[in-house]
Structure 1
Amino acid sequence: MHCDTIVLGAGIVGVCTALQLQARGRKVVLLDRDQPGSGTSHGNAGLIERASVIPYAFPREVSRLLRYGLNQQSDVRYSLKHLPKAGPWLMQYWRQSGSKGLAKATQAMLPLIEKCVSEHDLLAEPAGVTGLIQDSGWVEVYRTSADFDKAQRDAAALAAYKLNYRVLDKHQVHALEPGLHSDVVGGIHWLDPKTVSDPGGLTRGYAELFVQRGGTFVLGDATRLRATAGQWQVESQKGLIVAQEAVVALGPQARAIFEPLGYRIPLAIKRGYHMHYAAKHGHTMQHPILDSIGGYVLAPMVGGIRLTTGIEFADSDDPINEIQLRRCEERAQRLYPLGPRVDAAPWLGRRPCLPDMCPVIGPASRHKGLWFNFGHAHHGLTLGPVSGRLLAEMMTGQQPFTDPTPYSAERFN
């Protein structure tokens, strides 16, 4: 099977990259070991996060670091045996999260964040999945006046980004989400983001659009990619695929390709969990709700109310550990009236993260025809279409809509 480009990975980033290349005239084969949207793209909080203009930085406050050191928090948990392995990466992340590094990452990510909603819109309508997307934003809620006051100051500090939001007093936040516990004192309603009630379904819808437009999806082991006679080849269930170009959009599995080729890219994994719950009788959640102090999101999904946890630092292949999920679950039960668990077991996802808080988007400089698009951390769903567009523009010789330099793999080599 011959094509112009093989896209490796059928998560939201890979599917959108395939669509963007296809729209620019490339014959594309999309390859994954599982069906589209089966990995990390399946299990997130469903936010197309237009309001997240400041990247998720490593905490700098000594008091927070001390709390995390005790390993009793609900938003971040670590495996003690994993710390020696994760330590060097965490130090890089901590250094990059200083004021200069965070400002640099913010400016680098802003062009992508600004276009994230509009690029999804361009795909959702022809894919017939607009019913999975809501434009009513999401809400962060607070239980103490001190936390609520700080949240208002933090929101006001983002004035330069011209984000749309509403400050909700106690009466307003309970009118918006009547099921909230009475001790919630207020909230911030972010209006620019859109939300998705089935992230995996959205990804599959985009993949179906790719196939409808003439693309080919095949099952295969992307890690068997090899360069032969100036071409890229990989085996699939439909036979050998040969192309002039290959795109590595494998998220947390990208290391299996770039590392043997000699690229020193500090890709790490932040693990996270989700569980669905039935809604208690008489309560219908209308918006995703963030408990920013607890570090989890409750979101109305097609499978029930989804609780998505924060960060777990552990080996990628470690078995599921319910400690963090149970901590979040305990807090969430005091925030909103959740019914029983719906899923037989927790879902475990792996977020691919880089210490400077920017993804890798662009060419593999030492291998002709090889391209990278991975490392989107907490914002894979948000940035899939727009990062796919940027890479497609680079690959087809178009003028990129923004300077791609901040996302170059060479910044690490």
Structure 2
Amino acid sequence: MEESPRSGISSPEAKLGLKVEDLWDVQEPQLSPSEKLNSCFESIPVSAFPPAPSSQVIEINSDSSLDEAVQLLSKHKILSAPVRNVEAPEDASWIDRYIGIVEFAGIAVWLLHQSEAAAIRMMSGSATAGLVSRESAATISSVTLETPANAIAGTAIGPGSSGPEASASMEGSFFESLTSSDFYKNTKVGDILGSFRWAPFLALQTSDTFLTMLLLLSKYRMKSLPVVDLGEGKIENIITQSAVVHMLAECVGLHWFETWGARKLCELGLPVMKPNQLLKVHGDEPVLQAFKLMRAKRIGGIPVVEGNGRKVVGNISIRDVRFLLTAPEIYNDHRSITAKNFLTAIRKYLEEHQEDSPLLRGTITCRKDNTLEEVIRRLDTEKIHRIYVVDEDENLEGVITLRDIISKLVHEPHGYFGDFFYGVVPLPRNSSV
């Protein structure tokens, strides 16, 4: 006798999937699958979402140094963490207790400005070619998500020279000096926290719905969402895009999931971007160019290509900036760190330290005729945030991210958030909300 998909369900994520299944079964038959899923997720509170395996929320104090923040993020292999205001009283509400999010992306933009400011002074022969002042760090913290790429790219310093070129020529020595400097070790997380637009602490209440959560993680580009208990005034859980995709992977075999997940990527309009729209970096370009593009365009990773620009040889993600800060041996032999050298050095480092990482398993790809279920399984198994779509000749055709997956799960009902996001966080492209 064939085992029922409901048999043997044990994980919290799978049990949550069964709850969606029960809600799916009682939906009006005339509703479309999309409407059914929206209705199901609108009926489930975020308090039902399973906590992280460690059941521990990692927080960073506002008086922690950047060095301490990087070490903590690296140790727990996370991209961001809520910042706790050490000056807030013990009985403060969560609004006063947490003042933002510190993330690798934010630290990366700080580093880019530091690198280029130092490089410009160095190339112009300034006697003060060291690290910039604490006042400059305050200016850096005002950079927003809307900062255009050419504003980040640096200022010309002479004929044929630019900020990026100068910083590329001294990356290794710069990072070596930076990570050993008192400036880096003494600059506080609270000093570089940007505006609400730059690093929003956008929390969910336990009574908010899955639909709200999924829309924030997809359409509104949030990477993670703290869940707060109003009574306790503290963070109960942090829900990430990765955790949602893991939940979906645990629901394979359930009717509601199969109705949605059995469709091919091309049938769902994935990948969204055309090949000529995809941001990428060539293997011989400075690795900092990859981090600049990621921050300027608000993306978490970028493919490294060779040849005609369509052959993928690797992926650099924003989290990889940690290697420039915590593993100086990576750049000791590469004073000018190209994207290809960076990947080679990271792989060597991971092998020597016996660390498991998707970087050791080569470039992970799929085809347009793969199903959404196949891609979800691969993303979850490999613990990656994006997968590259290639054609039969292995030419790059696009990328599919965790956000893309979630965005195909739900849609925003008209007027769902009202004017909540006006002037708070950047609206998605083509959004009328």
Give the number of the structure whose residues are more often helix, by fraction: 2
Give the number of the structure whose residues are more often strand, by fraction: 1
When normalised by structure 1's length, the TM-score is 0.30
Q: Which has the larger radius of gyration?
A: 2
| Larger RCO (alpha carbons 8 Å, 6+ apart) | 1
When normalised by structure 2's length, the TM-score is 0.29
